[in-house]
Amino acid sequence: MIDPNGIAHIQLTVRDVARSRPFYHRVLHETFGMTIQYDNPEVFYCIGGRNGIVIRAAAPEHADTSFDQLRIGLHHFCFRLRSREDIDALHAVLVDMGAKVVRAPEPGAWAPGYYSVLFEDPDGIRIEAVFIPGAGNLAVIKDKPLTPPV
């Protein structure tokens, strides 16, 4: 059996890198402290905390296509933060920058102690940040399936 060591990076396709760059620069670099690996008109890429997030422009023929989280492909992605205070601090940054906050910080039923904020990038791509104390659902026995909350 192969035991993965996390996700190396997630690449997001955006309408316009120049339009999306300030959002991702503020969240990833300024707020999360991720290191900028590439920053040019075609690519913005940050790494840190065992994550990599890349944004690239959509092909010209798709530049007017809207993100739809119920289509095949990405629904949303989620950062795991280290405390409830980090969730609250991120929420304050999002409000300050005028980002669309879909759901302000609140507890959730996905795991014991689940506390998250849900927001969107300039193209409507949904991003969540969560704090789960301890191992959360990772502590569940691998052979025991979980039932998602309603």
Domains and CATH numbers, the chain: 1-58 (3.10.180.10), 75-142 (3.10.180.10)
At 66, the pLDDT band (50, 70, 90 cuts) reads confident
Residues 105-137: tens digit of each pLDDT: 999 988 889 999 999 999 999 999 999 997 666
Give this prediction's pTM: 0.87
Identify residue 37 by its one-letter amino acid code. Q
Q: Which residues on neighbouring strands pair with residue 48, listed in sequence order?
A: 51
For the segment 22-43, the average pLDDT, to the nearest whole number, is 97
Residues 82-105: tens digit of each pLDDT: 999 999 999 999 999 999 999 999
Cα→Cα distances 113→39, 133, 140, 150, Å: 37, 6, 14, 17
Question: What is the model's pLDDT at position 3?
Answer: 82
